[in-house]
Structures are given as structure tokens and as C-alpha cells.
A = this chain, B = another copy of it.
Amino acid sequence: MAQQQEGEVAVIFASRRNTADPAGYAAAAEAMAALAACQPGYRGMESVRDAQGAGITISYWADEAAARAWRDQPDHAAIRERGRTRWYDSYSVTVCTVARRYGWQRA
């Protein structure tokens, strides 16, 4: 993932999956990750889901306008609607402004 810069926007999507339609969900998740990566202002994504269905995906955007454009992107909006009817029991979205970032890696 690209290194985040101060002022970028992080969108934290925390969700709980049900057990329905795992293949459909997996295909949609992969398609949305690829589509997000093509949007203007995309800065990266971090995503983890455990075997019990809890997931956190964070997408990073150059600014607020880029994050809102992704929210309103038509294919994304359609998939989100399918997520509500089919794949998710609950989710939350937390929109943040990045203040700073640092990393560590084993030498």
C-alpha cells in the first residue's frame, strides 16, 4: 500500500458477514477492491476478515472529495445495496482524516 500522507482520508468499514452466498460475496469483494484501485485519488486499502465473519476494510483517499466520489460510484452503490439485502448482518463506516503514520518491519 502507498504510504499515507497527512490530510488523506481513511474510510473504516467494519462489518459482520452472515453465512449466505460465500462465492458471490468473494467475487464482489474482489471486484470492488479492483474497482476502488482505479478511482481518482485512491491511496490504498487494508482488509482483514476472520473465519467467524468479522471484517475490517480501510480504504485511503487523497481527500474528502475522492472518498465521497467512491461512495457514490454507481457500481459500488449497487454492490452496497446487495450487501444489505444478502451478505451483511451489520456494518459501520467511520470516516477519518489521517494525522500521521509510521511503520515497523523486522530487519
Q: Shortest CB–CB separation between residue A97 and chain B, in angstroms?
A: 5
Identical copies of this chain, number: 2
Q: Shortest CB–CB separation between residue A13 and chain B, in angstroms?
A: 10
A contact face: mostly helix, strand, loop, or mixed: strand
Cα–Cα distance between A64 and B58 once the two chains are bound (Å):
21
Contact of A101 among B56, B92, B101 (CB under 8 A): B92
28 contacts between A and B (CB under 8 A): A9-B99, A10-B94, A12-B12, A14-B46, A48-B50, A48-B54, A48-B55, A49-B50, A50-B51, A51-B51, A56-B58, A64-B99, A84-B104, A90-B105, A90-B106, A91-B103, A91-B104, A92-B101, A92-B102, A92-B104, A93-B102, A94-B98, A95-B99, A95-B101, A96-B96, A96-B98, A97-B97, A97-B99
Residues of A near any B CB (own CB < 8 A): 4, 9-10, 12, 14, 46-51, 54-56, 58, 64, 84, 88-106
